[in-house]
Structures are given as structure tokens and as C-alpha cells.
Structure 1
Amino acid sequence: MSPRAIVTDIEGTTSSIAFVAEVLFPYSRARLAEFVRENPEAVAPVLEQVRAEAALPHLDLEGCIAQLHAWHDADCKIGPLKTLQGMIWADGYAAGAFTGHVYPDAVAGLRRWHARGVPLYVYSSGSVAAQKLLFGHSDAGDLTPLFAGYFDTAIGAKREADSYVAIARAIGVEPRAILFLSDVIEELDAADEAGLSVTLLARDGAAAADRYPVASSFDTILPQEIDA
């Protein structure tokens, strides 16, 4: 049975883990302090969220920067950090400092499924804003018209089954009719527990598991759709 919706992860699935680790993260880390100091009005709500998350209501500007650096270095999935990273990356994309990496086979697969009328969604630990930036400024151009919607950890943690139940409810498709794509076994376990169909992306020699369908690229996912 062909899925009625496809939900995809980003890192290691549509895009290289190296792009995030070696391009995006170093870019935001190097510019974080300067960006916060030079954009007081834009970052004021973010800093309030930092104080709330850290349970330090009187933390000053430099203290907030230090906390953000600590979260950044620990790769914490925390809302205010993700928001700030997205703001910094937006400047980088706009300046042409980089484009969003998307595997050519992922571009082809997404376009193929979209042309077939299958609604496509993104679910990533990166903020929705960051997701739209990556696909909107991708190596292949603006891919955002291919997607019907985006989800981040505001809907729930990626390793919890309830998150996938919530996504199914939000898009109005029963779980068993949704295909979820990811390179992380624990995410697939959660999606499978919620009743979704799943496929593991094992790119670049990544280890596979024998309990789920495995694909090394989007070319082998739903092969019956390629020549239909």
C-alpha cells in the first residue's frame, strides 16, 4: 500500500550529518556572541527564554551568552538556542555563505512523491525556521514548495511515540498510512510504536538494523512509484 503521507527527518536522511556538524554549527557558534550583542531588540525574547530555561531570572547579557555557548557546545535541543541559531543561519544563507545540503537522490525522491500527490512533511530536532531555511536555500534551489508542513520538538521529542501520534493527528492521516524516514533507530522505534510505517536510511556505510526496511538512498524507497 502506498503511503498517504511521508514524514522525513533531515540529518542523515535528506541531508548530510556533516553539513550540520561542519558548516551550520561552527557558523552559529562563531557568531553567537556578536549577534546577541549587536541585535538587542531581536534577541530580547530569546534571552527571556534563556533565563526561564536556566531558571535564572536575573541572568545578565553576558551570562545569557555564556549559557547559550554551553548549550551550543553540548548540542542541547533547547528552544531559545535553536531559535537563535536559526536567526544566525538566516543571515548566513542570505549572504550566500553556504547553501543547504540535500542529497540529489533525496531531491529526486521528494519531487517524485510530490508529483504523485503524496503530502510531504519534515520532522527534525532543528527549529521549523531552520528547516525552512535549509530547504529554501538548498543546493538544488528552493524546495519548500514540495512540503505540506514542518514539525520540530515543539510537538514532542523524536524518540517518544506520543510525538508521532500527535503528528498523525495534526496532518489528519491515520498512523499506519504514514511513512517515516530516519537514520536513527530510536526514532524509528518510537514511530513504529505509534503505528507508522518506517524505513531506515543507512547512508555512507552507516549501520543498519534487521527489524526495519533499509534504504541507502531515496531511489530504493517505494520503488514501485519510480516507473509508475
Structure 2
Amino acid sequence: MTALTARWVVVDIEGTLTPTSQVHVVLYDYARPRLGPWIDANGDDPVVVEAVAQIRLLGELPDSAGTPDIVEVLHGWMDADQKIAPLKTLQGLIWQRGYAEGDLVTDLFPDVTPALRAWHDKGLDLAVFSSGSVAGQVAAFSRTSDGDITTLFSQHFDTVNAGPKREAPSYRAIATALNAPPEQIVFLSDVPAELDAAAEDGWQTVGLARPGEPFGDADFGSHLAIESFAQITVDPA
């Protein structure tokens, strides 16, 4: 058991709180056939309008490109697991509806909720940094295998309001938003490159080497590596 002290605990989602299949299979398969209908049904929503404009720009599509062309670009990004903001925005809106209607439930690893509740009850502040949109994050935590856990988190960050997950300036921006010294923040993720970026800004880092997950056998270098949240304790600084 490794003991840490901090003011904030910031967690990744995919591969850290949930199995990767929760995103790549369950959520992606739910969003894929709904992207086109969602764009067509919400053409007056400013958020959708802006997302479509970004997709045309990033996908190098002409202004005349219709929904099928836009969806083709989105599906290509999904197939390549690209963390591109307008894709994440549309996915988040669709997932938000799916959770609200009871179509989706987030499957958490069994060690996750007990640890999050213990840290929260000790007075630690919890935040999320995920490539999924903030709307998608909140929706995902509203209906989980352990119930609604949205109240455990004080802040949510994504690639829109913080920046890319593998770049140090994103973690600098989050530390500023949290009003906390970097050394008083612990970041838990299954991706070594994300941990490297956080450590570059002075954060404490913990790697999740969960058996059977894509990064289960990764080289975490100098980062503390664990298989379960039960292997660490975090106390208020």
C-alpha cells in the first residue's frame, strides 16, 4: 500500500475508471448510427452548428458537404480513435440522451467507487480529465453500475476547456483552474504519455496497469504503477 497526500485527485476515465470496452464498444456502437440523425434533427442548435463547421474544416470538406459526408469523416475518426473536439462534442450529446433515457449504464471497475467515496469523505476534492466532453462525463457518472456518482466530482475537464491530454500546458491550465500547486494534485491514468505530461508540470502521478487492458503491460517508467485503486491511499495535504 502506497500513501500519498494531496488537495486534489484528478482521474482519467477510459482504462482507469471503466474498461476500455465501455467506450470503444458500448459507447462508440451507440453513437455511430445516431450521428447523422442527430445532426439532421438538431441543425438549429448552435453547439451542433459549430461542431459541423469544425468537422468541415478539419475534414477538408466543402461548405456544400452534406450530412453523409460529415458522418463519413466522423466514422473515420472513430475508427482511428481520434480525440477530436467536434466528434467528442456530438458523441457527448448523444450519450447524454442515452443515459437520460436509460439506454446506457457506465460499467465501473469494482475498486473505483469505494476509493472515490473514501477520498471524497476525507475532504479531498475530485476532478476528471478525459478526452470525452464534459457533458458526456457528467452523463456517464449519472448512471453507473454503482448508481449516480456525479456529486463526488467538483470539476470536469476535457480537450476543449483544458487541451490535449498528452501535453504539459493542459495540466498547467487545469492546476490554474483548480487554484492548486501542481505538487498538491494527484493524476491517475492508464496512459504513460499522459502521466509524463502531468509530471512535466509537477503533478504527482499514478499509472493504472489493469490486467487485460490495452496499457496493462505498458512501461510506466518512473511513475508509480498499480493494478487497483485499493493499492493506494490518498490523504488531504
Normalization by structure 2: what TM-score? 0.88
Which residue matches 1:187? 194
| Equivalent AA in structure 2 for residue 81 of structure 1 | L
Which residue matches 1:105? 111
| Equivalent AA in structure 1 for residue 82 of structure 2 | C
Runs (4+) of structure 1 moved beyond 6 Å?
none
Please tell me whether residue 141 in structure 1 is matched to residue 147 in structure 2. Answer: yes
SS at the partner of 1:110? helix
The one of 184, 204, 222 equivalent to 2:233 is 222
Per-residue deviation, 1:57: 5.2
User: Is the 1:101–1:134 contact (alpha carbons within 8 Å) kept by the matching residues of 2?
Assistant: no
Unpaired segments of 5 or more residues in structure 2? none
The one of 39, 51, 54 equivalent to 2:56 is 51
SS at the partner of 2:15? coil
CA distance in 2 between partners of 1:55 and 1:66 (Å): 12
Per-residue deviation, 1:116: 0.5
| Equivalent AA in structure 1 for residue 164 of structure 2 | A
User: Is the 1:36–1:65 contact (alpha carbons within 8 Å) kept by the matching residues of 2?
Assistant: no
CA distance in 2 between partners of 1:68 and 1:26 (Å): 13
Structure with the bigger percentage of helix: 1
Per-residue deviation, 1:79: 1.5
Please tell me whether residue 170 in structure 1 is matched to residue 177 in structure 2. Answer: yes
SS at the partner of 2:30? helix
Please give the root-mean-square deviation of Cα atoms over the aligned residues, in Å: 1.7
| Equivalent AA in structure 2 for residue 207 of structure 1 | D
User: Is the 2:211–2:217 contact (alpha carbons within 8 Å) kept by the matching residues of 1?
Assistant: no
Unpaired segments of 5 or more residues in structure 1? none
Which structure ranks higher in relative contact order (CA pairs < 8 Å, sequence separation ≥ 6)?
Answer: 2
Please tell me whether residue 27 in structure 1 is matched to residue 38 in structure 2. Answer: no
Normalization by structure 1: what TM-score? 0.91
The one of 110, 113, 120 equivalent to 1:114 is 120
